[in-house]
Every structure is written in C-alpha cells, then in structure tokens.
Structure 1
C-alpha cells in the first residue's frame, strides 16, 4: 500500500494538489477526511505548494461516470485559475 501523506503535507513549491472526494464514496474514513481538510485550510506559502479538497455531489467511487458534469466544473475552475 502506498501512502501519499508526505507529499500532501509538503507539496512542492508552486504546485496545487487537488483532491476530489465522491460524496457517496465509502473509501474515506473520517480521520483521512479531517486530515485532508486541515491541509486544505492551510493554503500555500512561498516555500511550499497547497492542497485543495473538493467534494463531488451525487457521485460514488466512479466520479467520471456518476457526475461527469460536476467533475468537469471542478477541473475547469481549477484550470481557469492557472
């Protein structure tokens, strides 16, 4: 099993890591959700990147199938901010 916590806690300078969680997914435990929300609330700094956390409504594990329009809206808004 691979852990990405080190990367999420220290994203490279200038990078934004966007986490999309499916609203109906059962693959996230409360501890992980709280941990990611905390990282996302910190924002980035000059020396490290940042983490963003989005919840995709009406979607299970297969986000691109369950809510493609909602996923596109999340991706498009992030790309527009580049």
Structure 2
C-alpha cells in the first residue's frame, strides 16, 4: 500500500513540475530574453511569443521540416529558423 502512495506522490510531483514549467517559464524566458538581447545588441528587442512544451521533446518549427537536433538550421513554413540549440 505504501508503494501506491509513493507512486501517487511521484506522479503528482512530475505533473506539478510540468504544469509549473508550462505556466511560469514563458514569461520568465521572454523577460530575460528581451533584457539580455537588448543589452547585447544595444537596441530595443521584443519577443512576441515563447512557447514551452515540457511534455514534447521536439522543436515545433522542425516538426514540419523533419530536421533533427544534429542537422543544420533549416527554414520552416513560417520563415523562422530552426537552430541546433
């Protein structure tokens, strides 16, 4: 019976982490990205959207082009580039 309780806690922690990443990471990444890029480039920078999908291990831009993590950058349908990072 204790193993069921431990499994339930483990599942709750994983789901909670995913939920927190999904809710908290986009605003933090956007804020930090804008400030650091503006400082590095010396001009104002605006990031329109940050999309975090903690349950998906693929780059959404590259899903349509079929590129992999080790392939060189490729253009996707919207004109954005898919980078190795």
TM-score under structure 1 length normalisation: 0.29
- Structure in which a larger fraction of residues adopt strand: 1
- Structure in which a larger fraction of residues adopt helix: 2
TM-score under structure 2 length normalisation: 0.28
Larger of the two Rg values belongs to structure: 2
Q: Which has the higher contact order (CA 8 A, sep 6+)?
A: 1
